[in-house]
Structure 1
Amino acid sequence: MDMLSDKKKLLNREIQKLGYDSLRVAIFNQKDKNRMEWQTRIEYDLDTGIYQIYSLGDRASLIGKITNYTDFDSAKNIFLNKLELTVKYNKLRVSRGKQPEYSSPLWDGE
Structure 2
Amino acid sequence: MSKELNFDFLKQSIECEIEKKGLKSLYYVLFDEQSSQPWAFHLFYRDGKFMINGRDDRSYVMGNTIEFTSFEDAKIAFLERLEHFVKSNRFKVKIGKKPYYSSPLWDDATE
TM-score (norm 1): 0.91
Percent identity (aligned): 35
After TM superposition, what 4+ stretches of structure 1 lie above 2 angstroms from structure 2? none
Q: Which residue number corresponds to residue 52 of structure 1?
A: 51
Q: Tell me the number of residue pairs that the alignment of Structure 1 and Structure 2 aligns.
A: 106
**1:28-67 matched pairs, under 5 angstroms:** 28-29=31-32, 31-33=33-35, 35-45=36-46, 48-67=47-66
Q: Which blocks of at least 5 consecutive residues in structure 2 are unaligned? A: none
Q: Which blocks of at least 5 consecutive residues in structure 1 are unaligned? A: none
Q: Which residue number corresponds to residue 92 of structure 1?
A: 91
Note the aligned Cα RMSD (angstroms).
Answer: 1.1
**1:11-26 matched pairs, under 5 angstroms:** 11-26=14-29
Deviations 1:14-58 (A, max 9, x none): 0000000000000011x222x22211010012xx21100000012
TM-score (norm 2): 0.91
